[in-house]
Structure 1
Amino acid sequence: MSRFKVELQALPAQKFTARLGSFTLTIELQWMARAEVFRVNIFTAQGAPLTAGRYLLPGADLLASLYPPPGANYGSLMLVGDMATPANLGINNMLVWADE
């Protein structure tokens, strides 16, 4: 099993690309002040949406229950550590990808 940390910045909104195994995905994070949670949108390298509006919660797999193309396995991507806020994102927690 391969695991690695996806770099995050302590910002209320960010968009970045991440190499997850053989796939490059674009990840958008937006802080929702009223709900006090980050909303996550994930796109393929070609810009096709994989998921939108998922919440960034500790232990929740952001790539679960996707319908990838045949033969594509994106693995899992989850927040490990404290509940994310704009002040502690990437400091008291980390986004971890695993290929299983």
Structure 2
Amino acid sequence: MSRYKVDIQALPAQTFNAPLGSNTLVIELQWMARLEVFRVSISTASGNLLTAGRFLLPDVDLLAGLYPPPKVNYGSLILEGKQPTPDNLGVDNTLVWSDER
């Protein structure tokens, strides 16, 4: 089983490439001030959208239940720790990828 931390910064908005095993995904985080939650969009490196509009919440797998189900097993991507805010993102919590679902 492979498992490692995905680097994120304490910012209200960011887009970054995340090498997850043998795949690279593009992750966009956008702080929604009114709801006080981060909105997440995830695409493949080639630009195919996997999911959009999910919330970044502790202990929720961002790669679960993708529809239509991808032919590739992307594993799981879970935020561990406290509820994220622009001030504590990547400080009081950790985004963790695992090759197991």
Q: Which band: TM-score by shorter chain? A: over 0.9
Deviation at 1:91, TM superposition (A): 0.2
Instruction: Give the 5 Å matches for 1:31-46.
Output: 31-46=31-46
Which residue pairs with 2:90 in the alignment? 90
Deviation of 1:31 after TM superposition, in Å, equals 0.1
- Residue in structure 1 matched with residue 61 of structure 2 by the alignment: 61
**TM, length-normalised to structure 1:** 0.97
* Paired residue type of 2:56: L
Q: Give the partner amino acid of 1:24.
A: T
- The C-alpha deviation readout for 1:25-65, integer Å capped at 9, x for no partner, is 00000000000000000000100100000000000000001
CA distance in 2: counterparts of 1:39 and 1:64, whole angstroms: 16
Q: For residues 8 and 19 of structure 1, what CA distance do their matches in structure 2 show?
A: 13
Please report the TM-score for the alignment, with normalisation by the length of structure 2.
0.96
Residue type of the partner of 2:36? E
Matched, 1:14 2:41: no
Structure 1 gap ranges (5+) = none
Runs of 4+ in 1 over 3 A off after TM superposition: none
